[in-house]
Amino acid sequence: MVDDDAPLTELKTMQFDDDMPLASLATSTPQKPSKAATAKGKGKGGAKGKAKVKAAAKRSAKESSSSSSSSSGSDSDSSDGGEGEEKSKKVKANDQAKRMQLLKKKRKEAMGDVADQDEDADEDKEDDANNVVKKRDRTTKQQAVSDLLCRWWYVLPDWPPNNKDFYAPRLEERKLRQVTIQEWEWVDDKDSKGFAKVYQLSQFPGVFRDSHGQMIDLRPQEDCPCYANFMKKDLSELYDLLAKAYAAQLQELETSRYNEDKLKKELTVALNRVKDKGYQASQLSGPKRSRTV
């Protein structure tokens, strides 16, 4: 067997037959060539034999290199296949993670809408609670005023007065003159006396507007049926007005086309209660008065 570290000159000393297989190179001891082969080697065919040996050595080297390259190629293919599988697994994992994130986002949005609706409902409840004055937080007088504000028109005259003669002197004091909407564009802003033109708002009697767009309120504020004016009255007077308002409301319900039995009972109970409270208030505030009938 030829050593790997042996010099190439050693091949020259070895005699090979042309028909010798390449596997014989791997044998431990080189075969002795026959005399005929030796004779041929000594002749003209010796050079050809040496050339064939060299070509065979080159072919074996190429085959070994090709086998190593094929093995390395197979290894690289196997490694590439493994990397491809890992990449596909990673892509699948990323896709699954993205789907999970999308589902979580949709759930959050849905829960967020529900939470927002709950918060809005809570805020509305808080606003309603803040804007409503509870009955138990009102004083006796405030409750009487509140009940009277719900039905003052049954006992007090109409307000504001819808009477042109009522506002004429008030307009004259301010050097104003009332004109109709139809003649507004055809009359001068001021007449020969220097009175500026105004027109009355149809939906708000007693409220006027001049040519500059300014609003002029001539409604009588001293007898306005409002909370501030009612709170100035005595409690006994409030109960007296409230009792008259309940009685007038009950009388008007008699002509209603609908069944008002339930409301009539409620108003009757409220009327009797107000009469009792009114009598007690009159006893405490001044001399005795006869009870309101």
- Write out pLDDT tens, residues 121-135: 666 666 666 666 555
Query: How far is 92 from 84, CA to CA, in rounded Å?
Result: 12
Extents of the domains making up the chain: 10-82, 138-156+225-293, 159-223
Cβ atoms within 10 A of the Cβ of 243, count? 24
- Write out pLDDT tens, residues 58-107: 676 666 555 555 555 555 555 555 666 777 777 777 888 888 888 888 77
- Write out pLDDT tens, residues 39-52: 444 444 555 555 66
Confidence check: pLDDT of 292 > 60: no
- Write out pLDDT tens, residues 130-169: 666 555 688 999 999 999 999 999 999 999 998 889 999 9
| Percentage of residues of the chain with pLDDT beyond 90 | 45
Predicted pLDDT of residue 93: 79
Confidence check: pLDDT of 293 > 50: no
Predicted pLDDT of residue 73: 52
Q: Stretch 105-110: mean pLDDT, rounded?
A: 76
Strand pairing category for 215-217 and 207-210: antiparallel
Q: Please give the DSSP secondary-structure letter assigned to residue 190.
A: B
Query: How far is 197 from 187, CA to CA, in rounded Å?
Result: 8
Half-sphere exposure of 191 (CA within 13 A, CB side): 12
Predicted pLDDT of residue 143: 94
Dig out the tokens for 133 from the structure.
């004055």
Predicted pLDDT of residue 161: 92
Predicted pLDDT of residue 289: 47
